[in-house]
Structure 1
Amino acid sequence: MKFRTRAIHVGSEPDPATGAVVPPIYLATTYVQPGAGTWGAFDYSRSGSPTRAGVERTLADLEGGCGALAFSSGMAAIHGATMLLRSGDHIVAGSDIYGGAYRLLHKICNRSGISVSLTPVNDLKQFEAAMRPNTKMVWVESIGNPLMSIPDLPAIAEIAHRHGAWLGVDSTFTSPAIMRPLELGADIVMHSATKYLGGHSDCLAGVLATKDPELHKELYFIQNATGAVLAGLECFLLQRGIKTLDLRMKEQSQAALEIAQWLETHPLVSRVLYPGLESHPQHDLAKRLMGDRFGAVVSFEIRGDFAQTKKVCESTKLFGLAVSLGAVESLIEQPASMSHASYDAAARAKFGIVDSLIRISVGLEDIEDLKADIDQALHIACT
């Protein structure tokens, strides 16, 4: 079956007891067992539930993996992946990553004796040079947040594996409707499922998927031991969102490309970062990895300072001023003061997260309405 069909049917089969086309939500926290020391399919909801098992089966199928795990948030999923490591291990991560991931790697993992080096994903020589004998994990994003860098995943997978490290890919910006990193050499794919997979700003969730049964078994052990699992209602909401994922990604990607092309012509905009633009330095690589969809997040720099950039973000009427993305409603934010405020100021400057940078998440509103909203906000702040 094709992707869109599988997103609707796999893991969401009609209820065999009643014929209901939507499986019931299981809210039970514990399950009666057939005997002492004899275990049924489910025993305690931290270890698994029918509702969670359904959506995990959907996610594994769509990613082309052997299994998937649904976590209570995207950050819980990343943390679960890093718990594969031990004190003294080293992580090489892309320098263009979400601020929450930066905070976790630099201010939580370091407490366990795990070190991290950030390096640009678009320079394979630098990436190779960053690897150490104790490097056990490489962590990149399918599209960098917020500078929209594109990692050459097959090449980075080869580097990671040659050095004996796992490759983990945060694929939140693309979703499996655009890219499936496990098919490109990754060992672990992660999603903040709060974003495109859920799609409606009402479900906090995270996902890890793997193609190696032994790695999946180890990650399940970590999740069960630490407890950051997705509850029944959120599993239902995530399953429902996935059914329209392919349609939403198609429409939102097309709209984002049109808005990015328009922004390139705007006199108050100095630079637009979007992999679907021919001006993007890695446009050809993006086409090779993604085909004709490039996601719905666009970053751009205005001809203004910190205060003017802040004013643009505060002056939109349709774009909500918020630090999320991927849902049906459009959002806008200033990375320097919002999503990437966790970066040290020196690190933001080093990696190019300038004060004049704005990140937008294009939703499903009418494109002309969205353009008009950005235009009026730019003129309020910059003229």
Structure 2
Amino acid sequence: MKFATKAVHAGVHPDPATGAIMTPIYQTSTYVQESPGKHKGYEYSRTLNPTRAALQESLAAIENGRFGLCFASGLAATDVVLKLLKSGDEVIASNDLYGGTYRIFTGVYEKYGIKFHFVPMDTPDRVEAMINERTRLIWLESPTNPLLHVIDIKKIMEVAKAKNILTAVDNTFATPYLQNPLDMGADIVVHSVTKYLGGHSDTVMGALVTNNEKLAEQLAYFQNSCGAVPGPQDCFLVLRGIKTLPLRMAQHCKNAKVVAEYLNQHPKIGRVYWPGLKEHPNHEIAKQQMRDFGGMVSFTLKDDCVEAAIEVLERLKLFALAESLGGVESLCGHPASMTHASIPKEEREKTGLKDSLIRLSVGIEDQEDLIADLAQALD
């Protein structure tokens, strides 16, 4: 089954009671049992809810996985992956990553005796050099947030498999429309469903997808035991959002290409970060492992002035200044003070994340209007 067909149909079955074509919102906390322990697969909605079950099946299908699990947020999903570890274990993570991920790694799990190494993953050799007998997990994003570095997922997975190390790939920026890390050897795919999968800036959710049955059982145990699950209304909204994911992502990518090329030739712009540009590091890897280059674009001004960058952000109109990304509307942000403020300045600068960096989530509006908005903000 092709992707667009899966996006519309996977996990969605006519309601057995009414024949409703859309999965109903099962707004219930509990389910009547015929006798103690004898039920129809549902006993309590923290454990499982029919609306969530449909979404989990849909997410697994579009990621070419067998098992999908939904959580109350992307960080709740991340938290469950880390619960697979124990004191003394070590994690190798890409050094350019979402600030919330860095925060939960260092601010929460380090105190439980788990050690994190943040390294550039532009080549597999850098990762392999950090592996020791205590390494239990390799965590990466590709493209990364916010510098849009592209990591050769397949080669990193090969390094991990040779050492029997668990791998998790945050696929939020690319979405399963553009790449499928499980097909490249990843053990777990992580999503902030809040972003492109939901697509309409109206819900907060996270997800994990895997092909490993034993691993899925462990993750599901933590999902139920720790209880950070989404409600049925949010699951319904994401099920609806996934149906248009192929259409939306195609337009996000088209618009981002126009925006990136416009910025790349603008006299006031210093550097543009977008994997589709030929001069982008690992552009060739992006061409191999992605079907298009995504809707995220970051850039700096030529004078590298923080105050000037903030002025541009304040002058933008169609690009709304807000946290998050991946909605149908265009957003702009200042990672140093917003999404990545939890990362110390010296650590941000090591990765090249300057305080003057501007991140754009390019929406699906008319391209001419987006360019006009950027033009007036930059003049």
Place the TM-score, normalised by the shorter chain, in its bin: over 0.9
| 1:275-297 deviation line (CA, Å, top 9, x unaligned) | 01111121110000013x11100
Q: CA deviation at 1:213?
A: 0.6
2:132 match: 132
Would the aligned equivalents of 1:260 and 1:272 in 2 still touch at CA under 8 Å? yes
1:32 match: 32
1:248 match: 248
Q: Structure 1 residue runs of 4+, over 3 Å off?
A: none
1:263 match: 263
1:296 match: 295
Q: CA deviation at 1:77?
A: 0.4
2:310 match: 310
1:159 match: 159
AA aligned to 1:302 is L
Q: CA deviation at 1:126?
A: 1.5
Q: CA deviation at 1:142?
A: 2.0
AA aligned to 2:214 is E
Q: CA deviation at 1:303?
A: 2.0
Would the aligned equivalents of 2:332 and 2:359 in 1 still touch at CA under 8 Å? yes
1:227-242 to structure 2, matched below 5 A, reads 227-242=227-242
1:321 match: 321
1:162-241 to structure 2, matched below 5 A, reads 162-241=162-241
> For this pair of structures, how many residues does the alignment match?
378
Q: CA deviation at 1:87?
A: 0.7
| 1:300-340 deviation line (CA, Å, top 9, x unaligned) | 11123111111111110100101211110000011111111
The secondary structure found in structure 1 opposite 2:96 is coil
Would the aligned equivalents of 1:303 and 1:356 in 2 still touch at CA under 8 Å? no
1:366 match: 366
Would the aligned equivalents of 1:133 and 1:163 in 2 still touch at CA under 8 Å? no
2:142 match: 142
The secondary structure found in structure 2 opposite 1:219 is helix
AA aligned to 1:217 is E
Q: CA deviation at 1:350?
A: 1.0
| 1:164-206 deviation line (CA, Å, top 9, x unaligned) | 2111000000111111100001000010000000000001010
Q: CA deviation at 1:163?
A: 2.1
| 1:114-140 deviation line (CA, Å, top 9, x unaligned) | 110001110322211111211100000
Relative to the length of structure 1, the TM-score reads 0.97
Would the aligned equivalents of 1:190 and 1:209 in 2 still touch at CA under 8 Å? yes
1:79 match: 79
Q: CA deviation at 1:112?
A: 1.4
Structure 1: distance between partners of 2:264 and 2:26: 49
Matched, 1:281 2:266: no
Structure 1: distance between partners of 2:327 and 2:37: 45
2:14 match: 14
AA aligned to 2:297 is V
Would the aligned equivalents of 2:330 and 2:363 in 1 still touch at CA under 8 Å? yes
The secondary structure found in structure 2 opposite 1:189 is strand
Matched, 1:338 2:338: yes
Where do 5+ consecutive residues of structure 2 fail to align?
A: none
| 1:48-73 deviation line (CA, Å, top 9, x unaligned) | 01100001000111111111001000
| 1:200-220 deviation line (CA, Å, top 9, x unaligned) | 000101010001011001000
Percent identity, aligned pairs only, is 46
Q: CA deviation at 1:251?
A: 0.8
Structure 2: distance between partners of 1:17 and 1:32: 16
RMSD: 0.9
Would the aligned equivalents of 1:124 and 1:156 in 2 still touch at CA under 8 Å? yes
Relative to the length of structure 2, the TM-score reads 0.98
Where do 5+ consecutive residues of structure 1 fail to align?
A: none
Structure 1: distance between partners of 2:161 and 2:275: 27
Structure 2: distance between partners of 1:14 and 1:8: 13
AA aligned to 2:308 is Q
Q: CA deviation at 1:40?
A: 3.2
